[in-house]
Structure 1
Amino acid sequence: MFLYKKKYYFQKNYWIYITIIIFIITIDFYSKKWILNNLNIYEKQKIFLILNIFHVHNFGAAFNILSDQGGWQKYFLSIFSIVIILIICSKIIKLKKIDKNKIYSYSMILAGAIGNLIDRIYYGFVIDFIDLHIKHYHFPTFNIADCSIFFGMIILIKNSYSN
């Protein structure tokens, strides 16, 4: 009888994904730290025609969902984030070499989730500051972690439809 030992791609090339995760978390952390140290809350600085830096605090989830709930949402969203992070870690570890793009996308989602979780635990809110607008339409203000989650999801969805 032969014992079959599964070899996971993540375990072989873990350093690539860990580097991506650490890089995104670091950029997210220091960009938020810069915002806290250099802009007052609700202060806005114009960068380009369609881009402002606008310092806001998000006490809820995406699009300020649950932000007006009196504080319990901090714990709920933190626990929810931890569960999502553990699920994504499990998925990354189990993926095989042929799922390289999925591992990259999950790594980006994971980094963004960790970045926002750090804010939520440390400050009690998430620091948002990227304000995109076209004429009078403003997208909801976001941060680097949100970008990472968004692009990770785009890659994941694109790969799901291309297979």
Structure 2
Amino acid sequence: MMVVGEGAAPVAMVKKLRMVTGIVALFALVLDQVSKQWVLTSLLPCLSGPPGPGCAVNSPFIEVTGFFNMVVAWNFGVSFSMFYSEHDLMPLALSLLAVIICAGLLWWGRHNDKGLVALATGMVVGGAVGNVIDRFRFGAVADFLDFHVAGWHWPAFNVADCCIVVGVCLLLIDGLFSGAERR
């Protein structure tokens, strides 16, 4: 027996989750760009011209705790400066790759009916777009969070990177632990 409106609930849920993805992506993007703007213009401004990788004299780092500093670091590659290149087309190539990955994630999740996947996808897309904006503005991504222990520093990162890592981890968790309910 079919209940009236039974088929409409999943469609409505999918539409709501698409909106969740968009809102989370927008929130991640805005948070990333606002934090970078604040760091580059107020907290650690360039002391010899406009902010960017061409700055001759950056403000010195700020020690926040014994294991955390605020710094200005320019990443010309992807995570941990992998694929670093001084080639003029590298920011464009990395941006195109990020846009393709975002489009693929959004296409893959177009029929998603899970809140965790919507949240994770929004985080990844918002973070990736935030870093793409940096590549077009500066030719590199602005990183400023620096954690360290006993003289060993984790590569500097930013809010967009946090969103991407957390989003990917949530997608992995969903993929690993939701398989049994689908079978």
Instruction: Give the structure-1-normalised TM-score.
Output: 0.87
Q: Which deviations, in whole Å up to 9, do the C-alpha atoms of 1:100-138 show, x marking residues without a partner?
A: 211211111111111101111122110000001122221
Q: C-alpha root-mean-square deviation of aligned residues, in Å?
A: 2.0
Tell me if the contact between 1:112 and 1:145 (Cα under 8 Å) persists in the aligned partners: yes
Shift of 1:42: 6.6
Shift of 1:25: 0.8
* Structure 2 match to 1:81: 98
Tell me if the contact between 1:10 and 1:92 (Cα under 8 Å) persists in the aligned partners: no
Tell me if the contact between 1:128 and 1:143 (Cα under 8 Å) persists in the aligned partners: yes
Local SS of the residue matching 2:156: coil
Q: Give aligned-pair identity as a percent.
A: 25
Across the two proteins, how many residue pairs are aligned to each other? 158
Tell me if the contact between 1:102 and 1:159 (Cα under 8 Å) persists in the aligned partners: yes
Aligned amino acid, residue 84 of structure 1: I
Local SS of the residue matching 2:73: strand
* Structure 1 match to 2:176: 161
Tell me if the contact between 1:8 and 1:94 (Cα under 8 Å) persists in the aligned partners: no
Correspondence for 1:146 among 148, 161, 177: 161
Q: 1:53 and 1:13, CA in 2 relative to 1: closer, same or farther beyond 3 A?
A: same
* Structure 1 match to 2:87: 70
Local SS of the residue matching 1:69: coil
Q: 1:162 and 1:42, CA in 2 relative to 1: closer, same or farther beyond 3 A?
A: farther
Runs of 5+ in structure 1 lacking a partner? none
Which has the higher mean CA deviation after the structures are superposed, 57-66 or 9-18? Answer: 9-18
Q: Which deviations, in whole Å up to 9, do the C-alpha atoms of 1:15-34 show, x marking residues without a partner?
A: 33322211111110011111
Q: Tell which structure's C-alpha radius of gyration is larger.
A: 2
Shift of 1:8: 6.4
Find the aligned partners of 2:135 and 2:61 in 1 and give their Cα distance: 22
Tell me if the contact between 2:91 and 2:139 (Cα under 8 Å) persists in the aligned partners: yes
Local SS of the residue matching 1:93: coil
Shift of 1:74: 1.0
Kindly report which structure 2 residues correspond to 1:34-73, keeping only aligned pairs within 5 A, or say none: 34-38=38-42, 39=44, 40=46, 41=58, 43-73=60-90
Aligned amino acid, residue 7 of structure 1: V
Local SS of the residue matching 1:142: coil
Find the aligned partners of 2:90 and 2:157 in 1 and give their Cα distance: 19
Correspondence for 2:131 among 98, 116, 120: 116
Local SS of the residue matching 2:110: helix
Runs of 5+ in structure 2 lacking a partner? 1-6, 47-57, 179-183
Correspondence for 1:7 among 11, 14, 17: 11
Q: 1:162 and 1:64, CA in 2 relative to 1: closer, same or farther beyond 3 A?
A: same
Find the aligned partners of 1:26 and 1:46 in 2 and give their Cα distance: 25
Q: Which deviations, in whole Å up to 9, do the C-alpha atoms of 1:67-111 show, x marking residues without a partner?
A: 23322211110111111111112123221x2x2211211111111
